[in-house]
């Protein structure tokens, strides 16, 4: 007999679950609170949809922090190559960028999403927009709709409601108290892949907000990475900062303070830089000494002055050390509503191996609702797709056992 399955949340994890379950012959309805599906997915595609990553798979599976081992079975069942093949099946060819990241050749998310929704409709998936989940009913789930309240009582349900980043796109974490009230443990949601506040002086902020620091190397507990980041009016942001965001956030939480270490001249060794600075005329201006001796100017010179006002009185050796390891103290992460993603969510101890909530048999969860985080670079989307597939397989297994 055909089973009725409700998918609550129309992002990548929910849509992937709907694809798997409808292909297996079940009657699937996807309930999405927003007027359209995949809004955060589309936003990610505005700058070129990063769909997955091409690095060695064993290394890929280590990018998910403390949840890496728990996520591995789902990732093994839907690897980056599988993601590319799935996209190709929807008419979206992909390519590997210089960083190893994988993008659609069209560099957009909308063609892929449109083809995906067409496939779901062809598989008889009912797609319901403007259906906002507002809590549990007796043996069911309540939704607010433009036509009034609706209660559904499916044979099984799968939630893919996202975390708490970009709430205006639908991931507002309203589900947390409702699940908590049912005995589901939820780790506190925190910003991930986010910028940080820095106590800039007003003069520095007014002149340099929006300026990129190019060709730098950055270090934290997360490791050392090269690239560029941006000075913002609040502090620092950009992909190079996001690579360190979990480490900086966790150090702030555990120790009350944290700093991003920046090498402003990664192309020169400390020894060479010291020699080059020592050759400069001591009577020359500090700016000229930095420009000629270290190839620093503009925002890099200003950042040095901002963070170490007496740097101009340092010896060439001391100054070289400062340039190679400049500390930017961060005050706090930017608000979670601005973050690319969020950490925290449903505790893994509350899920069985099939992604079913132990306190609520018949209810499954996938995607960013779960307690994991990952850097940008295709990891987030791949894990959402992979957990959506695995949770759907879990739904099938549970229904088969009833």
Q: Order across the sheet with 156-159: list the strands.
A: 126-128, 27-31, 4-8, 156-159, 363-365
Q: What is the pLDDT of residue 305?
A: 96
Distance CA 284, CA 25 (A): 78
Q: What are the pLDDT digits (tens) for 258-290? A: 999 999 999 999 999 999 999 998 889 999 999
Name the pLDDT band for 318 (thresholds 50, 70, 90).
very high
Q: What are the pLDDT digits (tens) for 183-209? A: 999 999 999 999 999 999 999 999 999
Distance CA 398, CA 354 (A): 8
Q: What is the pLDDT of residue 345?
A: 97
DSSP state of 2: P
**Span 367-385, mean pLDDT?**
95
CA distances (Å), origin 52, targets 80, 103, 111, 376, 379:
6, 7, 17, 10, 6
Q: What is the pLDDT of residue 98?
A: 87
**Span 322-339, mean pLDDT?**
97
pTM of the model: 0.92
Q: Is the pLDDT of residue 342 over 80?
A: yes
Q: Is the pLDDT of residue 173 over 90?
A: yes
Q: What is the pLDDT of residue 170?
A: 87
Do the Cβ atoms of 388 and 16 come closer than 8 Å?
yes
Residue of higher predicted confidence among 319 and 166:
319
133 CB neighbour count, 10 Å cutoff? 22
270 CB neighbour count, 10 Å cutoff? 15
With CA atoms as reference, report the closest residue to 370 among 39, 70, 53. 70
Distance CA 235, CA 330 (A): 8
Q: Give me the residue spans of the domains in the chain.
A: 4-191+339-401, 196-333
Q: Is the pLDDT of residue 48 over 80?
A: no
**Class of the CATH-defined domain 4-191+339-401:** alpha beta
Q: Order across the sheet with 196-197: list the strands.
A: 326-330, 258-263, 212-220, 223-231, 235-237, 196-197, 332-333
Q: What is the pLDDT of residue 282?
A: 84
Q: What is the pLDDT of residue 268?
A: 94
Q: What is the pLDDT of residue 302?
A: 97
Contacting residues for 305 by C-beta, under 8 A, at least 6 apart: 286, 311, 312
- pLDDT, the chain, mean: 95
Burial class (CB within 10 angstroms; exposed 0-12, middle 13-18, buried 19+) of 169? middle
**Span 25-45, mean pLDDT?**
92
Q: Take residue 234 and report the two structure tokens written for it.
A: 């609040």
Q: What is the pLDDT of residue 43?
A: 83
DSSP state of 125: -
């Amino acid at each position: 007999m055909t089973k009725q399955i409700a998918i609550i949340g129309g992002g990548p994890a929910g849509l992937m679950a709907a694809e798997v379950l409808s292909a297996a012959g079940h009657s699937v309805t996807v309930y999405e609170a927003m007027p359209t599906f995949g809004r955060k997915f589309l936003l990610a595609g505005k700058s070129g949809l990063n769909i997955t990553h091409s690095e060695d798979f064993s290394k890929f599976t280590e990018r998910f922090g403390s949840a890496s081992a728990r996520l591995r079975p789902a990732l093994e069942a839907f690897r980056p190559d599988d993601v590319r093949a799935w996209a190709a099946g929807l008419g979206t060819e992909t390519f590997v960028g210089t960083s190893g990241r994988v993008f659609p050749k069209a560099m957009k998310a909308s063609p892929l999403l449109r083809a995906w929704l067409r496939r779901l409709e062809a598989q008889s998936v009912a797609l319901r927009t403007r259906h906002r989940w507002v809590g549990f009913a007796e043996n069911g789930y309540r939704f607010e709709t433009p036509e009034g309240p609706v209660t559904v009582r499916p044979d099984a349900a799968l939630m893919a409601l996202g975390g708490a980043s970009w709430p205006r796109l639908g991931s507002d974490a309203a589900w947390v108290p409702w699940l908590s009230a049912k005995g589901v443990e939820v780790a506190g949601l925190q910003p991930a892949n986010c910028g940080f506040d820095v106590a800039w002086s007003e003069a520095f902020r007014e002149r340099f907000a929006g300026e990129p620091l190019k060709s730098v190397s950055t270090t934290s507990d997360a490791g050392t990475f090269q690239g560029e980041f941006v000075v913002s009016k609040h502090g620092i942001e950009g992909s190079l900062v996001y690579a360190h965001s979990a480490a900086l956030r966790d150090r702030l939480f555990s120790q009350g303070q944290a700093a991003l270490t920046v090498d402003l001249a990664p192309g020169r060794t400390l020894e060479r830089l010291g020699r080059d600075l020592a050759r400069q005329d001591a009577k020359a201006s500090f700016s000229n000494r930095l420009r000629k001796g270290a190839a620093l100017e503009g925002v890099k010179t200003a950042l040095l002055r901002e963070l170490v006002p007496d740097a101009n009185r340092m010896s060439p050796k001391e100054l070289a050390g400062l340039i190679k390891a400049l500390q930017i103290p961060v005050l706090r992460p930017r608000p979670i509503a601005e973050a690319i993603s969020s950490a925290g969510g449903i505790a893994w101890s509350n899920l069985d191996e099939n992604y079913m909530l132990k306190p609520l048999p018949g209810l499954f969860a996938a995607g960013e609702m779960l307690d994991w985080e990952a850097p940008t670079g295709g990891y987030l989307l791949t894990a959402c797709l992979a957990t959506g597939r695995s949770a759907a397989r879990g739904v099938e297994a549970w229904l088969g056992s009833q």
